Amino acid sequence: MSSPSSPSSACTTALAVSTPSGVHRASGVAPFLWGNALLGSIGLFLHQAQAGALTATWARSAFGLLGLTLWLLWRRQGGQLRLTRQTAPGVLAAGSLMVLAWVLFFAAIPATSTGMAVVLFHVQPLWLLLWSALRGQERISRQRVAAVLLALLGLVLATGTLSALWQDQAHATHPAYLLGVALCLLGALCTATVTLIAQGLQRHQPVTASTLAWWQCLLGTLLLWVWPLQHGWPASGASWLWLAGLGLVHTALAYMLIYAGMARLPTSRVALLQYLYPAVALLIDGLLLGQHLDGGQWLGLGIIACAVLWAERQAARQP
């Protein structure tokens, strides 16, 4: 199973998140959806790369850093990477929290399961909605809240988590399992905070999507390089090509699209549209990796699709 994106995902500063204009909202949907759809295919690349989780995460960061650097140099936009006193705290905090979220996710998988970790990490939309409601900066309709909860229900069904827990109830009450659950919830809070930081930077001290993604990749490369050094580098050959894809496609390109989209979307829409990522991931696992989905899982994917379509129809009717 793939690792979390989100933006892709401990609060730092109270950020005011305002609702963009209708034009900005429309222009933000496409890049955000494309970015999440790309992330949904990351499980295929991880499977083919045959590398450890943290080694693969380091490769994502390193190759993503390479791709973004070449892109910015080719466009002569290297100057955008310079941080000011106003932007440095937010950019560095977002990158660090995203790396921390990856680590928490990988640490939680052995204690829980991949499906449970995916579900718990995607409660982050609820953190976003709660934060927006507490701040009072964005009006969130009951339909939007209902759609997010419906999508979360669909995700629970799609991962097969309920049936797994029912078959092994003793495991679900084990202290190690409960610790894994706590790690997932903390990681979800980290990724939700990354979304808020990215939105706040765009509205108060504008920072380009490529700058956010570049600094995140730099931090991931610097913080995680010790792991493959101590535990061994990936096998040569095709493995490195798949790892390069993780960095160039699923990190550099996908994160630029996601950050560009979330800056133009209200928090409530970000909270719902990001469910496309786990839905695509589960679909690819079922169709391409031989992990066949049962009827309940297909029902869950259908519920996610219905929730997103219902909420987007409601948004399209708004002026």
Place of tokens 């695509």: 280
Look at residues 248, 253, 131 and name the one whose alpha carbon lies nearest to residue 188: 131
Q: Which of 3-7, 123-127, 164-168, 214-218 has the lowest mean pLDDT?
A: 3-7
What pLDDT score does 127 carry?
A: 77
pLDDT-derived band at 114 (thresholds 50, 70, 90) equals low
Signed CA dihedral, 316, 138, 95, 182: sign only: negative
Look at residues 236, 243, 195, 210 and name the one whose alpha carbon lies nearest to residue 42: 243
What pLDDT score does 303 carry?
A: 85
Look at residues 202, 197, 211, 244 and name the one whose alpha carbon lies nearest to residue 58: 244
pLDDT-derived band at 185 (thresholds 50, 70, 90) equals confident
3-state secondary structure 154-201: HHHHHHCHHHHHHHCHHHHCCHHHHHHHHHHHHHHHHHHHHHHHHHHH
pLDDT-derived band at 12 (thresholds 50, 70, 90) equals very low
The separation between CA 104 and the C-alpha centre of its own chain, rounded to angstroms, equals 13
Q: Where are the beta strands (DSSP E) in the chain?
A: none
Give me the residue spans of the domains in the chain: 22-317
CA distance 128 to 131: 5
- Which pTM does this prediction carry? 0.68
Place of tokens 């190759």: 63
Burial 200-218 (b: 16+ CB within 10 A, else e): bbbeebebbbbbbbbbbbb
What pLDDT score does 5 carry?
A: 35
DSSP conformation letters of 124-150: HHHHHHHHHHHHT-S---HHHHHHHHH
Average pLDDT, the chain: 76
Task: Please compute the mean of the pLDDT values over residues 294-313 and round it to a whole number.
Answer: 78
φ, ψ dihedrals at 212, nearest 5°: -60, -45
> Residue 255: which residues within 8 A CB-CB, separation 6 or more?
5, 7, 8, 35, 64, 209, 212, 213, 216
